[in-house]
Structure 1
Amino acid sequence: MLLTSILLLLLLLLFIGLPVGFALAICGSLGLYGMGGMPMLLGILDTAPLSSVTSYELISVPMFLLMAEFVILSGIADDLFKAAAIWVGRVPGGLGIATAIAGAGFGAISGSSTASAATLSATTIPAMLKQGYEPKMACGVVAISGTLAMLIPPSIALILFGIIADVNIGKLLIGGIIPGLLVTATIGFTIYALVLLDPSRAPAGRAYSLREKLASLKVVGPMVALFMAVTGIIYLGIATPTEASAIGATGALLLALRERKVTWSKLVKVVAAAASTSCMIFLIIMGARIFAFFFTLTQVTQDLVGWISIMEISPYVIMVAILCGYLILGCIMDQAAILILTVPIVLPVVVALGFDPVWFGVIVIVIAEVGLLTPPVGLNVFVVSRYTGRPVGEVFAGVSPHIFAHLIIIALMVIFPQIILWLPSHMN
């Protein structure tokens, strides 16, 4: 009865808009007080906040966020889009495909989905609309392309999953590479198919000479170097994700300095933005630790694992039910809240069923991408709507074909887990 009451209160607090960290801390504290009184509550509050944010791996969060802010400051996203447009602009839906490529490239040196969506909105939508693209299609492409930053390393979402689930963060980040490329290709094919069905949606762009195409590649070099400086050294075993994040932040700063975009006022603004987001994430983690103590005492997870172990049902049936649950939750809850509330409960069940935790982590993040696009939450849709001034309903309509394509990709990754696990299995 106590657990049910606490969970209902938590859902209510999240529904009315209370920050996730505060909601978790309040509900966890009430639950601990209900189970053990004030001595138990004070004992947990005395140690949990500090212990939850002193993990060495957590240093990577502010570093990757700082890296993302410096990348935005450098303006490299504009250059990536222009270079991609030169190469694929003549293809039906070429500017849309270029947007997906720029989203993947920006995600590979950023890690923030909302930052990616905001940057792409300012860069690519005006160019598509100027060429005569259907507005809902242009907005939908940007909304879906922005989600790639959640999957392609460095991904704050994958790092958060690794911390919550105590899973190797390096393997999670590397495991997101092939699915990220596959999702990027799927976005491109979806755009191409939509334009073939109705060419008026996206007029073809002008052709470029081979010399112009080769000249455009000069902007790709710094991006590839920065990506290798972060992801490559993790894959080769040269550095940990935490060390790689510091290298990435330094590299992004050098990139911004190279573009002569750094001033003292901008530097202060960038550091403040990264610090603000880091504090929000740390607050969520502290609240989650308090709530986790209460949830552990209820022994719900152990009971759930025991109950499932005696059921004569195929593990894949249970897994499909779990993934469907994540899809539903993504429509109504923030992705960070979903991870923190569900992973401690679901992951032991997933492992007991014989599934790999790295595979499950990447699958959950791909599903979280869908949650960024579905009503009523659909954070990326609201970001695109805000930055472009287009109606929210129009953006939702434009992104709906991509959601169906995403579901097909999720099914493929469930059927063929090596799509995710092949690269991590070859790490040093």
Structure 2
Amino acid sequence: MGLLALFALLALGIPVGFAMLISGALGLWLVGGTTLVVGYLSTTPLATTSAYELITVPMFILMAELVILSGVANSLFSAAAVWVGRMPGGLGVATALAGAGFGAICGSSTASAATLSATSVPAMLERNYHPKMATGVVAISGTLAMLIPPSIALVLYAIIADEDIGKLLIAGVIPGIVVMLAIAATVYILVLINPSHGPGGRRYSMREKLASLKVAGPVVFLFMLVTGVIYFGIATPTEASALGATGAMLLTIWQRKLTWRTLIRALMASAATSCMIFMIIMGAKFFGYFFTLTRITQNTIVYIDQLGLAPVTVLIIVLAIYFVLGCIMDQAAILILTVPIVLPVMVALGYDPIWFGVIVIIMAEIGLVTPPLGLNAFVVSKYTRRPLEEVFSGLWPHIFAHLLVVALLCIFPQFVLWLPEQMR
């Protein structure tokens, strides 16, 4: 009954956090009556939001807002274009590099897609790139922010799964690089098939190339201030998130973009997004109590065990379900709804929870660009004023490439697990 109520509320457009809270309350009421519901309502909000690790969320969101304000992201594409723009499809490859660079200092996928839309797409269209090529590579490159730390999605997964935030963030580094290379390779292959879709640009001297690297300094600084200090054991993820927000503010001041008005706007935007995420976490916690009391997770594990399916078969089925859900649901909702049920099943089958978290995030990336609800495609369409169908059309080769990356990481899980295992 609780699950049916949840899907009904989501279908009606009720925000995810409130939908889970209401449906969880209904399920608990059916199980234990009013006293049980009131008991959980009186303790859950404070117990959930007072967790020390949750400070990471607003700090990373504030860091993203300040990075956007600094304007550094706009220079990343220009710098990458100087190095690779002369090759066929070079501006598409530069977009992938800029997406990875922006993802390394900003954990917001939609912000990354919006920023790249304002810089990359006009440059590519001016060089006679095919619109499908230009918009598709921008939309998919924006998703890199979900995987490369500081990733808000990985933090959210870690909180839901009760896993080490630091290890999950570090686990996203190598897969993020692999995904970036897959985007670049897809662009290159598409241009080989049809050279007119991505003509090369002019050459730059080595002096111009070296001069363009000055934009890399702030990116490396912020990346080391967050990911570096976590990896070397200098700071916890919570402390690193505060360092990242401070570093982003200093960068904004250095770029002379910080005023009282822009600071207040960044703080307000961060607070609004943080409240939304906290509400989702509270709703998920409440809905999780319903799962626990009704033994849905335990019964699912027993049922799958009785089916006698091989672990790899179960994994393929789970990934197929994530692919379908990504087409019709918000990524945060997918994580909240599925991880409490699916993760114990995968762990029982012998899969590593950190590895599985990275795989789930990549599947969520695919959902961000898959019709009919691919959010990044809508963002790119809005900012570039190109038809939505055109954006989706340019994304299909990248979706296929992402699925190949998922297969690669499933066959070779050490791509995900090696770096976290080296942490101090």
* 1:67-97 alpha-carbon deviations (Å, 9 max, x no partner): 0011001111111111100000111111111
Q: Name the residue aligned to 1:191.
A: 187
What amino acid is aligned across from residue 321 of structure 1 in structure 2? Answer: I
Equivalent in the alignment of 2:132: 136
Aligned with residue 199 of structure 2, among 163, 188, 203: 203
Q: Secondary structure at the match of 1:331?
A: helix
1:151 aligns with 2:150: no
The offset of 1:132, in angstroms, is 1.0
Note the C-alpha offset of 1:43: 0.3
What amino acid is the match of 2:101? G
Deviation digits for residues 382-410 of structure 1 (CA, Å, limit 9, x no counterpart): 01111111111110001111000000000
Pick the aligned partner of 1:25 from 17, 21, 25: 21
Residue 282 of structure 2: aligned partner: 286
Distance (whole Å) between structure 1 residues aligned to residue 8 and residue 36 of structure 2 = 25
Q: Identify which of 66, 81, 88 aligns with 2:84.
A: 88
Task: Find the counterpart in structure 2 of residue 269 from structure 1.
Answer: 265
Which residue does 1:344 correspond to in 2?
A: 340
- C-alpha RMSD of matched pairs (Å): 0.8
Give the aligned partner of residue 329 of structure 1.
Answer: 325
2: CA distance, partners of 1:277 / 1:312: 43
Scaled by the length of structure 1, the TM-score of the pair is 0.98
| Distance in structure 2 (CA, Å) of the matches to 1:89 and 1:15 | 45
Whole-angstrom distance in 1 between the partners of 2:293 and 2:75: 53
What letter matches 2:213 in structure 1? L
1:380 corresponds to = 376
Equivalent position SS for 1:38? helix
**1:116 counterpart = 2:101:** no
The offset of 1:11, in angstroms, is: 1.1
* Stretch of structure 1 that moved more, 84-93 or 122-131: 122-131
Partner of 1:398: 394
Q: 1:180 aligns with which of 156, 163, 176?
A: 176
Out of 39, 45, 55, the residue aligned to residue 43 of structure 1 is 39
Aligned residue for 1:161? 157
Task: Tell me by how many angstroms 1:222 deviates.
Answer: 1.3
- State the alpha-carbon separation in 1 of the partners of residues 382 and 214 from structure 2: 32
Aligned residues: 424
Aligned pairs (5 A) from 1:65-76? 65-76=61-72
| Structure-2 separation of matches of 1:199 and 1:322 | 38
Q: Which moved more, 1:312-321 or 1:210-219?
A: 312-321
Structure 1 residue 358: Cα displacement:
0.2
CA distance in 2, matches of 1:182, 1:317: 25
Q: Which amino acid aligns with 1:363?
A: I
- Point out the more displaced range, 128-137 or 273-282: 128-137
Aligned-partner Cα distance in 1 for 2:296–2:271: 36
Q: CA deviation at 1:235?
A: 0.5
User: What amino acid maps onto 2:85 in structure 1?
Assistant: G
Q: Is it true that 1:415 corresponds to 2:393 in the alignment?
A: no
Q: Deviations over 1:6-25 (max 9, x none)?
A: 21221121122111011001
Q: Normalising by the residue count of structure 2, what TM-score does the alignment of the two structures yield? A: 0.99
Q: Secondary structure at the match of 2:373?
A: coil
Amino acid at match of 1:27: S
Partners in 1 of 2:231 and 2:198 — Cα distance? Answer: 39
CA distance in structure 1 between the aligned counterparts of 2:78 and 2:370, rounded to whole angstroms:
29
CA distance in 1, matches of 2:372, 2:239: 38
- For 1:155 and 1:115, the matched residues in 2 are separated by 12
Residues in 2 aligned to 1:17 and 1:122: alpha-carbon distance in whole angstroms: 30
* Unmatched tracts of structure 1, length 5 or more: none
Match of 1:300 in 2: 296
Aligned position for 2:220: 224
In structure 2, what is the equivalent of residue 52 of structure 1? Answer: 48
The 3-state SS of whatever aligns with 1:92 is coil
* Aligned counterparts, 1:231-246, within 5 A: 231-246=227-242
> CA offsets, 1:274-296, max 9 Å, x none?
11100000010111111111111
1:369 pairs, out of 365, 370, 379, with: 365
* Number of the residue aligned with 1:254: 250
Q: Take 1:284 and 1:310, find their aligned partners in 2: how far apart are those partners?
A: 33
Q: Aligned equivalents of 1:384 and 1:50: distance in 2?
A: 38
- AA partner of residue 115 (structure 2): T
What is the rounded CA distance, in whole Å, between the counterparts of 1:15 and 1:415 in structure 2?
A: 36
* C-alpha distance in structure 2 between counterparts of 1:280 and 1:418, whole Å: 34
1:214 match: 210
CA separation in 2, counterparts of 1:155 and 1:219?
21
Q: CA deviation at 1:202?
A: 1.4
Runs ≥4 in structure 1, deviation > 6 angstroms?
Answer: none
Structure 2 regions of 5+ residues with no counterpart? none
